[in-house]
Amino acid sequence: MDRTKILTGILVLTLALSGCSVGKHPIRVGSKNFTEQVLLGEIIAQHIEHKLHVRVERDLNLGGTLLAHEALLNRQIDLYPEYTGTALSAVLKDPVDTDPASVLQHVRSEYARRFKVDWLDPLGVDDTFAMVIKGEIARAKKLETLSDAAKPDSRWALGVGYEFEQRADGLAALNKAYAIQWVGQPKTMDLGLLYKALDQGQVTMIAANSTDGLLSKLDVKMLADDKRAFPPYQVCIVARQDSLSENPGLREALTALSGKLDNHRMQQLNYEVDGEHRSVAQVAADFLKQAGLE
């Protein structure tokens, strides 16, 4: 046997014994295009790197719900964080359901059947739509709920993100449950501009999110959804079944994140990025360390 064949044989044996996976694809983590999603995507990516010591590619800021969903189905990404109510209404286009357990069970079974995608257990965040007004107006008019805002003597100029106006679980659900009187058509804008528009008086009510960092920092009031117009929006990691099976330990690593967050903690993390202008990577790293997951 010549020297070249001997060396080749030794190399092949060494790689096999070391468990090296030559040419294996990295795990690709995605997210939608707003702070909470990018932050959750980075937390997930760093956590996978820590636990599995594998290469992780980030495809964050993908865009809206349907773009992220298509990226998952097309194997552009392997997983990303999603919201149960969003999946129910925007992806599956099924009727609004206000029971958290029922919605999770439904999207879990339908995604598995139709898309070969698994929903892991919730992270602990329920990021529902939040209809927000200025605190001074809420105090002056003694407004606590959306039913209060629907009284005949009140009219509101509404500011919304792009998806809220189009989705069945957004403006349509709000108008179906409450006879709120609007001044003209909603003003549509990037989510990051909503609070500025409210503060400057461009609008008098905004469709924000219940985990926005600014909710606990500004003089604003989130009106209670007393008629439960909006479905639950529990945050879960959605992952392709083939990606989970092709990457030993991935499901277990991701499951370790379940229950590690709540709305208050998510508000804090979002504010660190939006309000304190800290990097997403550093905020994610600090969270994992504090949660004992690094």
Same domain, yes or no: 147 and 206? yes
Phi, psi of 164 (to 5 degrees): -55, -40
* Owning domain of residue 144: 129-223
Q: Is the pLDDT of residue 15 over 80?
A: no
Same domain, yes or no: 268 and 217? no
Same domain, yes or no: 120 and 241? yes
Same domain, yes or no: 122 and 143? no
Question: 35-52 and 263-274 are packed helices; what angle lies between their axes, rounded to 10 degrees?
Answer: 100
Distance CA 251, CA 4 (A): 41
Same domain, yes or no: 92 and 36? yes
Q: Is 135 inside a domain boundary?
A: yes
- List CB contacts of 289: < 8 A, sequence separation 6 or more: none
Chain centre distance of CA 36: 6
Q: Binning pLDDT at 50, 70 and 90, where does residue 4 land? A: very low
Same domain, yes or no: 111 and 239? yes
Distance CA 105, CA 121 (A): 11
Residue 117, both tokens: 């995608």
Q: What pLDDT is attached to residue 2? A: 54
Mapping DSSP to helix (H, G, I), strand (E, B) and coil, where does residue 158 land?
strand
Q: Is 208 inside a domain boundary?
A: yes
**Closest Cα partner for 251 from 78, 68, 17, 67?**
78
pTM for the model stands at: 0.83
Long-range contacts of 101-106 (CB under 8 A, 24+ apart): 103/231, 103/232, 103/234, 104/232, 104/234, 104/236
What spatial distance separates the first Cα and last Cα of the chain, rounded to whole Å?
Answer: 49
Q: Binning pLDDT at 50, 70 and 90, where does residue 162 land? A: confident
Mapping DSSP to helix (H, G, I), strand (E, B) and coil, where does residue 219 land?
coil
Q: What pLDDT is attached to residue 192? A: 82
Same domain, yes or no: 92 and 31? yes
Same domain, yes or no: 189 and 122? no
Q: Is the pLDDT of residue 153 over 80?
A: yes
Same domain, yes or no: 106 and 241? yes
Q: What pLDDT is attached to residue 67? A: 96
Distances (CA, A) of 159 to 35, 97, 117, 199, 232: 18, 25, 34, 12, 22
**Closest Cα partner for 171 from 128, 210, 202, 207?**
207
Pairing of strands 235-240, 79-83: antiparallel
Q: What domain count does the chain have?
A: 2
Distance CA 109, CA 149 (A): 37
**Closest Cα partner for 40 from 130, 140, 120, 95?**
120
CATH number, domain containing residue 205: 3.40.190.120
Q: Is 9 inside a domain boundary?
A: no
Q: Is 12 inside a domain boundary?
A: no
Encode pLDDT of 97-152 as tens digits.
Answer: 989 999 999 999 999 999 999 999 999 999 999 999 999 999 999 999 999 999 99
Q: What pLDDT is attached to residue 168? A: 86
Same domain, yes or no: 254 and 271? yes
Same domain, yes or no: 212 and 133? yes
Taking residue 105's Cβ as centre, other Cβ atoms within 10 Å add up to 13
Q: Is 280 inside a domain boundary?
A: yes
Q: Is the pLDDT of residue 284 over 90?
A: yes
